[in-house]
Amino acid sequence: MDFNLSPEERMIRDTVREFVQKEIMPLESLVLANERQGLPGLADAQLRGLQDKARAIGFWGINTPEKYGGANLGSLAMAVTYEELGRTFVPFQFGGTADNILYHCNPEQEKRYLIPTIEGQRRSCFALTEPGAGSDAGNIRTTAVKDGHEWVINGEKIFITNGNEADFAMVFAVTDKSRGPHEGISCFLVDREMGWRSTRVPTMGDWDPGALVFENVRVPEENMLGEEGRGFQLAMRWIGAARWAIPARAIGSAERLLNMAIEHSRNRVTFGEPLANRQAIQWMIADSAVEIEATRWMTYRAAWLADQGLDNRHQSSMAKLYGANMANRVVDRVLQIHGGMGYTKDLPIERWYREMRLFRIFDGTDEIQRFIIARNLIKGHVQLLGI
């Protein structure tokens, strides 16, 4: 077994790490100040400026197929990239990418949606979750009824990332209730100008998703993405494409936080001794380091399996479940080690605390991951002898 990254993967890791340290981390104070005034952490112009700097060093379309001008990095290389990006809370992502299911666009749709999204001229959102259908995605109630050469969409979506900023949505709606979710749901590319509207959903974190409303929104039949009745499969492909990305980011964030705690424990003196001399503090540091390392290898293995063309869904669910909970345990310990200062807004720990709580909810809750893992084992889809 070889646990080494390839020379290319190490180069990617080191380049992204340097970019994060030099270009992104210096913006953290600005991001905190903006967010605490109710403003976006980064203005669109600032984000584009950073993306242009990254493009100049070759980081553009990092997971985009080469035929569209991307680098098409492998899953393990992407996991390493997400890990480095996770070392900061600045809301940055490399440009030149598009949602994976947009690659199912037909040639005409590519011109109108896929290519402009890759080039940064358009912004999309993935509209699946509803007030009564979160983890139970097959229970959506939004409908699309055929009327001549158009589909008429009615329904609501909620907790939609980029729902307030997107100019088009990938909307999942029931087109044939009698066929059930696996064959009765279709996906549509719906421009905002076609009539849907959105409002912000305030949250405890700095992620403000959108609530989308569709009232008799008429969509041309040529705007169906993929085949009629195959929308559920597209939705699951979107959700499962990079479930390991969440624990990958969690690794970077948790390591940054743990280093803050180690530094603080060395410098903070109580009763004549550094905190680092206290066994209670040592145990929190040790447990955090062990859990970060465990998450790393669970995540890398899930990504490696994807690179080999193997089914990695079980491993991805385990990595997501463990990694999301690891991040929450680590940030809680780090806040505890910092005491009252950790609870203040003078330090960014409370910001990470709120952000990491979301890790256990989106892209499949803890409960859903446990259900998937147990079901796979009970039904014999996987065995405990995993290697």
Q: Are residues 273 and 373 in the same domain?
A: yes
Q: Are residues 220 and 300 in the same domain?
A: no
Q: Are residues 188 and 66 in the same domain?
A: no
Q: Are residues 253 and 229 in the same domain?
A: no
**What does pTM read for this prediction?**
0.92
- The answer to whether residue 89 sits within a structural domain is yes
Is residue 248 within 8 Å of 214, Cβ to Cβ? Answer: no
> Of the candidates 237, 263, 282, which is a domain's last residue?
237
* Long-range residue pairs from 235-242, CB within 8 A, at least 24 positions apart, any chain: 235/101, 235/128, 235/137, 235/172, 235/185, 235/187, 236/137, 237/100, 237/101, 238/99, 238/100, 238/101, 238/126, 238/128, 238/170, 239/128, 239/137, 239/363, 239/364, 240/313, 240/316, 241/100, 242/75, 242/78
- The answer to whether residue 114 sits within a structural domain is no
Q: Are residues 84 and 128 in the same domain?
A: no
Q: Are residues 229 and 269 in the same domain?
A: no
pLDDT at 242: 66
Tell me how crowded residue 89 is: count the other CB atoms within 10 A of its CB.
21
**Domain of 357, in residue numbers:** 242-378
Q: Are residues 249 and 232 in the same domain?
A: no
Is residue 299 within 8 Å of 222, Cβ to Cβ? Answer: no
pLDDT at 181: 74
pLDDT at 205: 85
- The answer to whether residue 137 sits within a structural domain is yes
Is residue 354 within 8 Å of 206, Cβ to Cβ? Answer: yes
CATH number of the domain bearing residue 81: 1.10.540.10
Is residue 194 within 8 Å of 217, Cβ to Cβ? Answer: yes
> Of the candidates 237, 252, 272, which is a domain's last residue?
237
Q: Domains in the chain: how many in total?
A: 3
Fill in the amino acid letter for 36.
R
**Local structure of 132: helix, strand or coil:** coil
3-state secondary structure string across 263-329: HHHHHCEECCEEHHHCHHHHHHHHHHHHHHHHHHHHHHHHHHHHHCCCCCHHHHHHHHHHHHHHHHH
Q: Are residues 203 and 246 in the same domain?
A: no
CATH number of the domain bearing residue 371: 1.20.140.10
- The answer to whether residue 292 sits within a structural domain is yes
> Of the candidates 202, 237, 272, which is a domain's last residue?
237
Q: Are residues 348 and 297 in the same domain?
A: yes
Q: Are residues 64 and 133 in the same domain?
A: no
pLDDT at 240: 76
Helix axes 279-307, 313-338, angle to 10 degrees: 160
pLDDT at 41: 92
Tell me how crowded residue 106 is: count the other CB atoms within 10 A of its CB.
12
pLDDT at 136: 78
Q: pLDDT 10s digit of each residue in the chain, 387 long?
A: 888 999 999 999 999 999 999 999 999 999 999 998 988 899 999 999 999 999 999 999 999 999 999 999 999 999 999 999 999 999 999 999 999 999 999 999 999 999 999 999 999 999 999 998 877 777 899 999 999 999 999 999 999 999 999 999 999 999 998 888 778 999 999 999 999 999 999 999 888 899 999 999 999 999 999 999 999 999 888 877 768 899 999 999 999 999 999 999 999 999 999 999 999 999 999 999 999 999 999 999 999 999 999 999 999 999 999 999 999 999 999 999 999 999 999 999 999 999 999 999 988 899 999 999 999 999 998 888 655
CATH number of the domain bearing residue 138: 2.40.110.10
- Identify the bridge partners of residue 226 per DSSP, sorted by sequence position: none
